[in-house]
Structure 1
Amino acid sequence: MATWFSSETSHPAFDIKSTPTVSYGLPFPEACAVHVNGNLSSHRVYIIASASLTRNTDALDRLKKALGDRVAGVHVGIGSHTPIQELVPIIAEAKDLGIDCLVTLGAGSITDGAKLIRFALANKVYSVADICSIRGERPHNWIQPSIPLICIPTTLSGGEYQAIAGATEEKKQQKMVFDPIRDPDLVIQDPELCTTTPERIWLSTGIRAVDHCRGLERLAGALLKCKQDPKDLEARHQCQTGVVEAMRAVSCGVPLGGSHAIGHQLGPLGVSHGETSCILLPAVCSFNSQEPINVEKQAVVTQILRESQIISEMLASEDVDQSKADLATILDIYLRNLGMPRTLDDVGFNPNKLDMLVSNSLTDHWITTNAIPITKESQVREILAKVTG
């Protein structure tokens, strides 16, 4: 598999701003060392690494070896959906160590944690209550982070391409949004590293990116190829490239709507980040099809999917009349072919938490940006009824 690597390619992820820079072509330890020793000139690097990745692979050891004596400290593990309480001791240790660079090795919860950690350090907030006080989106008067952040992602959720971070206040089981304004500085893509990611996590976080819509042509087909051959490094790289395109939509301020809004609040109730989109996206598309203008927009997306040879072949194998199938139907078939969960029951959701999910969803920033603005509990329940059972 190592033959995929050659020389480094690096460039800004987006043509509308200079950060983050994307790097690929080198194994992740080598690429990280090149930038830490070079343009970032960092000497006190703090690494936050995935617990499962550290437990099951030598990835952290390889990274530490490449960075050598520039590693000032290491923390292993941050819980799903980034519990704020878990960040408090990391912030304290990073402060005491006088770090000048953060490096993440792992998935989205670690990425969000690092974004919030450097935001907290910049604003000298060290307790849960004080961290919660800097929540909210721009405009605000909080100090932007100054410590560089390098992200080495192992999933496709895409949080490494934007400044905004999500974290969970555990007592309320509610996701909060923080906007440090400053993006991560560097994202290192390594498709070989990503072969260590469990299939269900890799594919489901890819659907989280599909939820953004942009980059769909590249991403949707590449995910199916990864399902067919988990060792296909080029397919994994195409997935990573598709995520960059998907996140451009977010960077341009495209609103994310009901699937993200309800998904943000479903996550802290025990559902993984990517699987929220697997469950909710077709249901929200079905709900939005009540609006004629949205039907026209969905038809454009449907056509894009049908034009993908691998997806067209998948639909043909299911005896689907492609000229009549709507977007929700095609997405449902696609997700089932990927082996993704499609209902709340599939992920063991506790029905006793349904009322909490409904009420929390109505507080999410994105809920009113849906194609049909969602302002009532009855609307959230209508969507959730489609994914119950």
Structure 2
Amino acid sequence: MPTAENYYPPFDGHSSPHISIGLSFDQATLKHCLETYGANRVYLIVSTSISKTDNFTKLQAALNDKLVGVRYGVRQHVPWTDVLEIAKELHSTKADLLVTLGAGSLTDAAKVSAFAAANGAFTEDSLSKLHAGAKPDPASIKANHVPIVCIPTSLSGGEYTPFAGATDFRTHQKCSFQHPSIGPSLIILDPALCTTTPAKVWLASGMRSVDHCVEGLTSVFFSPQSDAPAEKRQEAEKALLEGLGRLLPGLLSTRRDPSDPEARRQSQLAVVAAMRGMKLGVPMGASHAIGHQLGPLGVGHGETSCVMLPAVLRWNLDSGRQEGWVRERQSLVLGVFWGIEPVASALRNRGQDTEMSSLGDVVEAYVRELGLPASLKEVGVGREQFAKLAENSMKDAWIRTNPVQITTSQEVNVILTMAAGDGLPPIQGQPGKPGPES
């Protein structure tokens, strides 16, 4: 393992964020607090579980009297009430640096809270005017001025984007917040720290990044109708293939030996590669759109990808059978799974076949090999919830960029029945077309 710091921007042409890897997380945080940001008033958001460990104690000791406030935990899918509590504390403490120590929900909370504080949004009504769906006037928006440093302990990858999701539990809808200023300035990667992340949490968040790679590589960005320049498509494909190629064996290695820091390091670097591809404008599809709306129903962030990605891939393949490029892109991704021997061996042990298995089948088998849920039933979502879930999914921006066009909630309902896992007959009708039970 490296011992000296490697400090660099991961995205060509972008000065922010930077990555720090090599130093322990507490050393790196103190160094950049002093040398990069000159901060004197640090506000920390720490996960509830980490707050009970020596790792939290180490970071507290490093920051010492510069620490002006601590938030213990953020609920999954980032309720607006949590965001507003943090925003008020950022304002009252006059924080000049915001640090997160923990998994993805903390990152989203930091982004939205800092954005809310900068705009004086301290109530649900005022926050409702800032999310992307409200179409705020750019001239009226104030940029976040508090640098954010993230020390992630999962693989969701939200640290690398100027986007965040937070849930309005008055409507049970997860809303997107977007602004160039809300992205973190620094991401500190510490594989040794991450060996303390429970394997199931780590692997589920890793499947979220697998979803980024798979939906990215099979997206409309690579369709014959795409207006993306050939050079940009090649660059994005290279980055996403690198990310997937690192993630698949890295997650399997962690499944077999949770204490292996090198496997965790490879997975962290895989996320960087995946985010490099997405940074080029590669959109997501229905797995992400539906997944966003599963969160308010109590499904864990990474588990949404575990249960939805296989069904979405199958629906896209069946419904897009007239679109040869859909099959070609899925075949490209299949080649990555079968081209990595430890992964191929695990798939064969799961009864998969190189000639007969679809990408949806292979992804589901891989999810099972990681010991994660692969159906809506397994995460507690039943058919009685499908109608509202489909309705909310149609409001998500990524539904509009699915590789095969989705125009009605009934089509989403078909996908949900494919992921149901309840043993009941699927909705009748042609793929992508609503049947009589819809």
TM beyond 0.5 = yes
Aligned to 1:172: 171
Q: What's the CA shift string for 1:303-350, capped at 9, x where partnerless?
A: 111111211221233343213322111111111100110111111124
2:9·2:16 contact (CA, 8 Å) conserved in 1?
A: yes
* Candidates 137, 140, 144, aligned match of 2:138: 140
Offset, 1:209: 0.4
Aligned to 1:268: 296
Offset, 1:356: 1.3
Offset, 1:352: 3.0
* Candidates 110, 123, 130, aligned match of 1:114: 110
Alignment partners' CA distance in 2, 1:130 and 1:222? 43
Alignment partners' CA distance in 1, 2:88 and 2:344? 52
Tell me the C-alpha RMSD between the 2 structures: 1.4
* Candidates 53, 58, 62, aligned match of 1:66: 62
2:48·2:73 contact (CA, 8 Å) conserved in 1?
A: yes
Equivalent position SS for 2:28 = helix
- Does 1:284 find its partner at 2:312? yes
Aligned to 1:356: 388
Aligned to 1:124: 120
Alignment partners' CA distance in 2, 1:343 and 1:319? 18
Equivalent position SS for 2:410 = helix
Aligned to 1:235: 263
Structure 1 consecutive aligned stretches of length 4 or more whose deviation exceeds 4 Å: none
1:5·1:27 contact (CA, 8 Å) conserved in 2?
A: no
* Pair 276,338 (structure 1): closer, same or farther in 2 beyond 3 Å: same
- Does 1:310 find its partner at 2:342? yes
Aligned to 1:89: 85
Pairs aligned (count): 385
Offset, 1:89: 2.1
Query: Please, which runs of 5 or more residues in structure 1 have no aligned partner?
Result: none
Q: What's the CA shift string for 1:123-167, capped at 9, x where partnerless?
A: 111111101111117883312111110000111111011110100
- Does 1:38 find its partner at 2:41? no
Equivalent position SS for 1:212 = helix
- Does 1:206 find its partner at 2:206? yes
- Does 1:293 find its partner at 2:325? yes
1:315·1:322 contact (CA, 8 Å) conserved in 2?
A: no
Q: How does 1:44-59 map to 2 (within 5 A)?
A: 44-55=41-52, 57-59=53-55
1:212·1:249 contact (CA, 8 Å) conserved in 2?
A: no
Offset, 1:16: 3.6
Aligned to 1:14: 11
Aligned to 2:99: 103
Aligned to 2:272: 244
- Does 1:184 find its partner at 2:184? yes
Q: What's the CA shift string for 1:330-389, capped at 9, x where partnerless?
A: 111111100110111111124432221010000001101000121211210111111111
Structure 2 residue identity aligned to 1:164: F
Aligned to 1:346: 378
Structure 1 range deviating more: 230-239 or 138-147: 138-147
* Candidates 228, 246, 251, aligned match of 1:223: 251
Q: What's the CA shift string for 1:236-289, capped at 9, x where partnerless?
A: 001001111111233222110000000000111110000000000011110110
Equivalent position SS for 1:211 = helix
Structure 1 range deviating more: 162-171 or 317-326: 317-326
Alignment partners' CA distance in 2, 1:318 and 1:60? 40
Structure 2 residue identity aligned to 1:261: A
Structure 2 residue identity aligned to 1:19: S
Offset, 1:5: 4.9
- Does 1:335 find its partner at 2:379? no
Aligned to 2:193: 193
1:115·1:180 contact (CA, 8 Å) conserved in 2?
A: no
| TM-score, normalised via structure 1 length | 0.96
Offset, 1:110: 0.8
Aligned to 2:284: 256
Aligned to 1:153: 152
Offset, 1:115: 0.3
Equivalent position SS for 1:289 = helix
Alignment partners' CA distance in 2, 1:353 and 1:333? 26
| TM-score, normalised via structure 2 length | 0.86
Structure 2 residue identity aligned to 1:271: V
Q: What's the CA shift string for 1:73-96, capped at 9, x where partnerless?
A: 111111110000112222112111
1:104·1:114 contact (CA, 8 Å) conserved in 2?
A: yes
Offset, 1:44: 0.4
Alignment partners' CA distance in 1, 2:50 and 2:385? 31
Q: What's the CA shift string for 1:281-306, capped at 9, x where partnerless?
A: 01111011032321110000001111
Alignment partners' CA distance in 2, 1:319 and 1:129? 52
